[in-house]
């Protein structure tokens, strides 16, 4: 008896150990990539999880500094007349006289020329460094540490964001600590630089995420691109969910429960279409949209459906697999449901809308989730149809664009990873909230983008 | 009067309900398919009129080095990924079918990679596979601690085997995977490895950082396969593709496992069957329709692989990662040449035919049970 219980425990322990080990395999890359998306440099070697953005000390400091600067503690910024007090500590080897750091507010912004155009007022023009003084000197191992304090004052009448800062010290003098940890330490430890000392809590912790929104502007309208892409994807997903729900249930009902000529043929055709890769038919579909569906779109004053949402929506009104799911569902309903209504003389439409459709909530739920996820993640067809301008991209194509923008010279992985996670967030939330529908949907149809 | 019109209405009703679907099916599938067949016999550049050239395109694609490479890559990708993801999906489902507390959490966690888009997954993995990236770091660490890890595994396995053999010699009923012994093995293995490090018998080796170039390389692997070896960038894509699709199919298997009647297990237990025997002779045959579905979907899906190649773009040499789907796309939208619609269409027909033949052959091999799945 005792032995049996021990065995059961060992069994459970083994199962859990295995489950946890595999969790690392499946979740590991995702979690690690997410944590790295908070880092200043996601490609540092060796990859480390000691992330400045995740240390509570820096959370407090970034909140306080923004507050001092007269901005919002959470969102940052430096108001007119704002004053930030900053302390920094260095170590100097024996025999060398410690020197105060040279404080510079550089004319610099992350994200290159496009981001620079969006800056209205440069902090470099307004912020002055005052009261630089040594406040503490202590002996330390092999030398001594000195602490300096100074204030940054906004002398202008305008709000400033961001306020970058560079500190430089003589050779061999080493950086120890500062009010807020620097974003980069360069030139063999001589120069420490901050992207934004008045960032505020959220832009500090989610610096790369803020960059994604801040640094991508449309060349034609000047609007922030990333937000547009999110909106576009939402619009497309919602529209296509609606058309799919309506048209798939209509077609599914007809194929499942009505008798008419050509029914078998249509169903066989549907099955055949599910086997043929999209890359076969897209050649013609591209031309059909280019010519506005045999010129029909001209009636609405639109010469071509390329680069339009109308094109994407019309060509994706309803997918064969969605019809298949609905047909499977309607077939399983008992015939008696319909018969009594038919005897009372109800028309097909009445039966469909009044009796059958209200029963179809479970498959429609699964279809909603599946379609939303499918459209949100769709890549190939939008890549073909929407090529310009960047304002019209859905999020997947936008991400491709983002990768090109930040990967032009050397890869600036921070914003790329951040953009990736923002775009994955909606489907992850959907998944957590409606897990059951995902499972049902997969076992219903078995098709995935 | 009203009756007559409603009678006509009733006759038309099915077609009215079907109309939107028939529109997309006919215009964006039927018409498209017929037109691609026609295009494949012509030369056409999207602008001037198509010219009939007979079978010339079909001959020319096989003379195109890009096409043969694409075909080879697509087929390698299909075989490796479909096989691996089917087996892994089945094993995962068996593991996640255990009735332990919190199993739902693990199911969700494992499935998570599958809900994100191909762009998201590919971008994360490009970062992961950087020359100075996380994967190379993990490999470096593994090399540093290689001796210690091997010692641990060896000690654990040795203890386990000795205990099992001991029990068997004494003719006691014991499973080869007796969890108690496994537990003991792991524990002692850990103590041995820890002791070896603690008392200085083994130290982590100094190794230079591993810098395997995963994408920007024309190298192939493994060498002994000669011309059958696959390009390393394609191998990297395979790795993360399996990582994302295996959990999807795991869900299908899980649903199948839950449909297996309990009596079957009980009958097997009465007959004295256990462990691997149950899996191989009872579970696997019962899951045949699911396997059929999983393999069919896997074959169709892998033959269409496009996204990863497009997203990698110039980060990997074209010849190492080009697939049939990408070949078709790049002939229709070449970066610096006239579109070759005829060639693209011929390749597309080839892809459709290939899909058809492979799915059909697979049906013959696996049997017809899964037909209505």
Tell me the Ramachandran region of residue A443: left when phi exceeds 0, alpha when psi lies from -120 to 50, beta otherwise: alpha
Question: A391, A220 in Cβ contact below 8 A?
Answer: yes
Q: In A60-198, which ranges are E strands?
A: 83-93, 102-104, 127-140, 143-154, 165-168, 174-178, 184-186, 191-194
Instruction: Chain B: give the shortest CA distance to residue A95, in Å.
Output: 36
Contact A29 B134 (CB under 8 A): yes
Q: Under an 8 A CB cutoff, do A431 and B112 touch? A: yes
- A316 interaction partners in chain B (CB closer than 8 Å): 24
Q: Which residue of A4, A239, A279, A406 to mutate against B (max B Cβ within 10 Å)?
A: A279
Helix A263-275 to helix A320-332 angle, to the nearest 10 degrees?
A: 130
Q: Is residue B370 scored above 60 in pLDDT?
A: no
Question: Do β-strands A83-93 and A174-178 pair in parallel, antiparallel, or remain unpaired?
Answer: antiparallel
Cα(A312)–Cα(A291) distance, integer angstroms:
14
Q: Are A37 and A420 in contact (CB under 8 A)?
A: yes
A343, two tokens: 């005897």
User: Could you give the C-alpha distances from B358 to A245, B129, B299, in angstroms and in order?
Assistant: 33, 32, 8
Residues B251, A377: C-beta atoms closer than 8 Å? no
- Name the residue of chain A whose CA is nearest to B44's CA: A283
Return the residue of A nearest to B47 by Cα.
Answer: A287
Q: Which two tokens stand for residue B314?
A: 């110039």
Query: Under an 8 A CB cutoff, do A417 and B123 touch?
Result: yes
From the candidate CATH numbers 3.40.1280.30, 1.10.3720.10, 1.10.240.10, 3.50.50.60, the one assigned to the domain spanning B63-129+220-372: 1.10.3720.10
Write out the H or E segment, with its range, that includes residue A198: none
DSSP conformational letter for B272: T
**Does B252 contact A442 at a Cβ distance shorter than 8 Å?**
yes
Q: Do A277 and B355 touch (CB under 8 A)?
A: yes
Pick the closest to residue A365 from A430, A449, A271, A320 (CA basis): A430
Q: Residue B2: what pLDDT? A: 47
**B222 vs A112, more confident:** B222
Find chain B residues with C-beta within 8 A of A449's C-beta: 117-118
- pLDDT exceeds cutoff 60 at B1: no
Residues of B in contact with A431 (CB under 8 A): 108, 111-112, 115
d(CA A411, CA B312): 13
Single pTM value for the model: 0.92
Q: What would the two tokens of residue A12 be?
A: 């459970």
> Using 50, 70 and 90 to split pLDDT, how confident is the model at B372?
very low
Tell me how far apart the alpha carbons of residues B327 and B73 are, in angstroms, rounded to a whole number.
11
Sequence-separated (6 or more) residues with CB below 8 Å from residue A429 = none
A440 C-beta neighbours (distance < 10 Å), count:
21
Inter-chain touch B106–A438, beta carbons under 8 Å? no
Backbone angles phi, psi at A344, to 5 degrees: -75, 0
Determine the number of helices (DSSP H) and then strands (DSSP E) in chain A: 20, 8
Q: Which residue of B has its CA nearest to A3?
A: B180
Contact of A224 with A216, CB cutoff 8 Å: yes
Helix axes A225-257, A263-275, angle to 10 degrees: 140
- pLDDT at residue B220 tops 70: yes
Phi and psi for A434 in degrees, rounded to 5?
A: -125, 40
In the structure, what pLDDT confidence band is assigned to residue B221 with cuts at 50, 70 and 90?
A: confident
Mean pLDDT of chain B: 89
Residue A434 CB: number of other CB atoms within 10 A?
A: 18
Cα B306 to Cα B77, B158, B310, B328, distances in angstroms: 12, 47, 6, 10
Q: Give the separation between CA A169 and CA A102, rounded to whole angstroms.
A: 6
Q: Which of B266 and B214 is assigned the larger pLDDT? A: B214
- List chain A residues with CB under 8 Å of B351: 277, 279-280
The CA–CA distances, whole Å, from A144 to A95, A141, A187, B264 equal: 10, 7, 21, 77
CA distances, B30 to each of A128, A273, A285, B22 (Å): 70, 8, 11, 10
Q: How does pLDDT run along chain A (449 residues), one tens digit per residue?
A: 456 777 778 778 888 888 999 999 899 999 999 999 999 999 888 898 899 999 999 999 999 999 999 888 999 989 998 999 999 999 999 989 999 999 999 998 887 777 787 788 899 999 999 999 999 999 998 889 999 999 999 998 998 888 999 999 999 899 999 999 999 998 888 999 999 999 999 999 999 999 999 888 887 787 889 999 999 999 999 999 999 999 999 999 999 999 999 999 999 999 999 989 999 999 999 999 999 999 999 999 899 999 999 999 999 999 999 999 999 899 988 888 888 888 888 899 999 999 999 999 988 998 999 999 999 999 999 999 999 889 999 999 999 999 988 887 677 899 999 999 999 999 999 998 988 787 777 665 544 33
The answer to whether A27 contacts B109, with C-beta atoms less than 8 Å apart, is yes
Q: Which of B103, B116, B179 sits opposite A427 (nearest CB)?
A: B116
Please give the backbone phi and psi of residue A259, each rounded to the nearest 5 degrees, phi first.
-105, 125
Concatenated DSSP letters of A296-309: GGGGGT-S--TTSH
- Number of residue pairs across A and B with CB atoms under 8 Å? 277
What is the C-alpha to C-alpha distance for residues B68 and B323, in angstroms, rounded to an integer? 10
User: Residue A90: what pLDDT?
Assistant: 94
Rounded Cα distance between A36 and B213, Å, is 21
Q: Is A74 helix (H, G, I), strand (E, B) or coil?
A: coil
Q: Do A317 and B118 touch (CB under 8 A)?
A: no
A244 to chain B: nearest residue by CA?
Answer: B21
Residue B274 pLDDT: 67
The C-alpha atoms of residue A90 and residue A264 are separated, in whole angstroms, by: 82
CB contact under 8 A, A379 and B117: yes
Contact A362, A444 (CB under 8 A): no
Secondary structure class of B50 (helix, strand, coil): coil
B181 pLDDT band, cuts 50/70/90, is: confident
The nearest CA of chain B is from the CA of A198 a distance in Å of: 30
Give mean pLDDT, residues B152-178. Answer: 88
Contact predicate B17/A253, CB 8 Å: yes
Element (H, E) at B309: helix B307-312
pLDDT of residue B368: 58
The pLDDT of residue A253 is 96
Domain boundaries, chain B: 63-129+220-372, 146-198
Query: Rounded distance, CA A258 to CA B11, Å?
Result: 10
Query: Which residues, at least 6 apart from B75, have a Cβ–Cβ distance to it below 8 Å?
Result: none
Beta-carbon contacts of B261 under 8 Å, excluding residues fewer than 6 positions away, are none
Q: Do B14 and A260 touch (CB under 8 A)?
A: yes
Q: Which of A273, A315, A420 sits opposite B123 (nearest CB)?
A: A420
Query: Residue A438: its chain B contacts at CB < 8 A?
Result: 111, 115, 251
Q: How far is B342 from chain A (nearest CA, A)?
A: 10
Give the number of other Cβ atoms within 10 Å of residue A95's Cβ.
Answer: 7
For the residues B310-320, what does the mean pLDDT come to? 92
Select from A7, A15, A416 the Cβ nearest to the Cβ of B123.
A416
Task: Test B120 with A424 for CB contact under 8 angstroms.
Answer: yes
Contacts B10 to A, Cβ<8 Å? 347-348
| DSSP string computed for A240-282 | HHHHHHHHHHHHHHHHHH---TTHHHHHHHHHHHHHS-HHHHH
Residues of B in contact with A273 (CB under 8 A): 25, 29-30
* Residue located via tokens 């005829």: B342
Task: Kindly state the helix (H) or strand (E) to which residue A122 belongs, with its residue range.
Answer: none
| Contacts (Cβ under 8 Å, ≥6 apart) of A435 | B108
Which chain B residue lies closest to A396 (C-alpha atoms)?
A: B119
Question: Cα(A68)–Cα(A85) distance, rounded to whole angstroms?
Answer: 8
Closest CB from B10, B100, B106 relative to A12: B100
Least confident of A377-391, B248-262, B330-344: B248-262
Nearest to B115 among A19, A270, A428 (CB): A428
Which letter does DSSP use for residue A129 in this model?
E
Give the whole-angstrom CA distance, residue A272 versus residue A306: 27
CA nearest to A382 within chain B = B307
pLDDT of residue A443: 61
- What does the radius of gyration of chain A's CA atoms come to, in whole angstroms? 30
Cβ proximity of A320 and A269 under 8 Å = no
Shortest Cα–Cα distance, B281 to chain A (Å):
22
């Amino acid at each position: 008896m005792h032995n049996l219980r021990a065995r059961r425990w060992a069994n459970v322990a083994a199962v859990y150990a295995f489950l946890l080990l595999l969790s690392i395999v499946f979740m590991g890359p995702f979690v690690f990539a997410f944590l790295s998306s908070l880092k200043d440099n996601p490609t540092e070697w060796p990859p480390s999880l000691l992330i400045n953005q995740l240390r509570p000390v820096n959370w407090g400091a970034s909140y306080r500094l923004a507050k001092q600067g007269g901005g919002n503690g959470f969102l940052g910024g430096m108001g007119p007349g704002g004053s930030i007090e900053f302390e920094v500590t260095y170590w100097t080897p024996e025999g060398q006289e410690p020197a105060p750091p040279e404080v510079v507010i550089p004319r610099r912004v992350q994200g290159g020329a496009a981001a620079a155009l969006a800056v209205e007022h440069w902090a470099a023009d307004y912020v002055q460094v005052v009261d630089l003084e040594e406040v503490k000197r202590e002996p330390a191992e092999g030398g001594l540490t000195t602490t300096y304090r100074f204030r940054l004052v906004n002398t202008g009448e305008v709000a400033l964001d961001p306020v970058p800062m560079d500190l430089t010290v003589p050779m061999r003098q080493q950086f120890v600590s500062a009010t807020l940890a620097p974003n980069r330490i360069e030139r063999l430890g001589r120069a420490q630089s901050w992207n934004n000392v008045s960032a505020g809590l959220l832009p500090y912790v989610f610096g790369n995420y803020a960059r994604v929104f801040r640094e991508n502007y449309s060349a034609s309208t000047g609007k922030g691109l990333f937000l547009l892409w999110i909106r576009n994807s939402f619009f497309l997903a919602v529209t296509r969910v609606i058309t799919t729900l309506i048209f798939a249930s209509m077609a599914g009902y007809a194929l499942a429960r009505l008798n008419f000529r050509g029914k078998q043929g249509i169903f066989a055709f549907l099955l055949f279409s599910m086997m043929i890769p999209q890359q076969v038919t897209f050649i013609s579909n591209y031309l059909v949209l280019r010519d506005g569906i045999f010129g029909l779109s001209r009636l609405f004053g639109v010469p071509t459906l390329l680069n339009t949402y109308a094109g994407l929506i019309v060509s994706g009104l309803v997918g064969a697999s969605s019809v298949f799911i609905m047909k499977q569902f309607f077939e399983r309903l008992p015939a008696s449901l319909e018969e009594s209504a038919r005897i009372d003389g109800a028309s097909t439409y009445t039966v469909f809308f009044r009796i059958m459709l209200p029963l179809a909530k479970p498959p429609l739920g699964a279809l909603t989730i599946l379609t939303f996820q499918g459209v949100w993640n769709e890549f190939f067809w939008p890549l073909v149809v929407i090529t310009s301008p960047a304002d019209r991209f859905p999020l997947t194509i936008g991400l491709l664009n983002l990768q090109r923008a930040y990967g032009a010279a050397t890869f600036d992985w921070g914003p790329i990873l951040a953009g990736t996670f923002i775009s994955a967030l909606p489907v992850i939330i959907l998944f957590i909230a409606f897990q059951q529908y995902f499972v049902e949907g997969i076992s219903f149809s078995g098709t995935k983008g | 009067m009203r009756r007559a019109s409603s009678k006509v209405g009733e006759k038309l009703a099915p077609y009215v309900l079907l109309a939107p679907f028939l529109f997309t099916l006919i215009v964006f599938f039927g018409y498209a398919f017929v037109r691609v067949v026609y295009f494949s016999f012509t030369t056409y550049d999207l602008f001037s009129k198509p010219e009939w050239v007979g079978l010339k395109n079909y001959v020319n694609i096989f003379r195109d080095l890009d096409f043969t490479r694409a075909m080879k890559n697509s087929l390698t990708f299909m075989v490796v990924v479909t096989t691996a993801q089917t087996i892994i999906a089945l094993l995962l489902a068996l593991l996640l079918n255990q009735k332990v507390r919190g199993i739902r959490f693990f199911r969700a966690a494992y499935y998570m990679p599958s809900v994100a888009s191909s762009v998201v997954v590919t971008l994360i993995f490009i970062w992961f596979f950087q020359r100075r990236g996380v994967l190379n770091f993990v490999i470096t660490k593994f090399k540093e601690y290689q001796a210690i890890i091997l010692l641990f595994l060896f000690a654990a396995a040795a203890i386990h085997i000795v205990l099992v053999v001991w029990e068997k010699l004494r003719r006691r009923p014991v499973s080869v995977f007796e969890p108690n012994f496994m537990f003991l093995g792991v524990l002692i293995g850990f103590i041995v490895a820890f002791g070896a490090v603690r008392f200085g018998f083994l130290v982590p080796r100094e190794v230079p950082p591993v810098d395997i170039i995963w994408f920007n390389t024309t190298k192939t692997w493994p060498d002994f396969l000669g011309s059958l070896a696959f390009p390393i960038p394609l191998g990297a894509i395979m790795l993360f593709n399996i990582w994302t699709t295996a959990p999807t199919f795991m869900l299908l298997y899980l649903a199948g496992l839950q449909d297996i009647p309990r009596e079957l297990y009980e009958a097997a237990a009465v007959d004295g069957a256990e462990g691997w025997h149950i899996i191989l002779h009872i579970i696997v045959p019962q899951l045949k329709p699911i396997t059929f579905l999983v393999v069919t979907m896997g074959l169709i899906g892998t033959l269409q692989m496009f996204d990863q190649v497009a997203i990698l773009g110039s980060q990997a040499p074209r010849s190492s990662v080009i697939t049939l789907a990408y070949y078709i796309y790049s002939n229709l939208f070449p970066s610096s040449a006239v579109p070759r619609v005829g060639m693209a269409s011929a390749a597309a027909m080839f892809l459709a035919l290939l899909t058809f033949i492979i799915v059909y052959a697979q049906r013959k091999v696996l049997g017809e049970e899964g037909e209505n799945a």
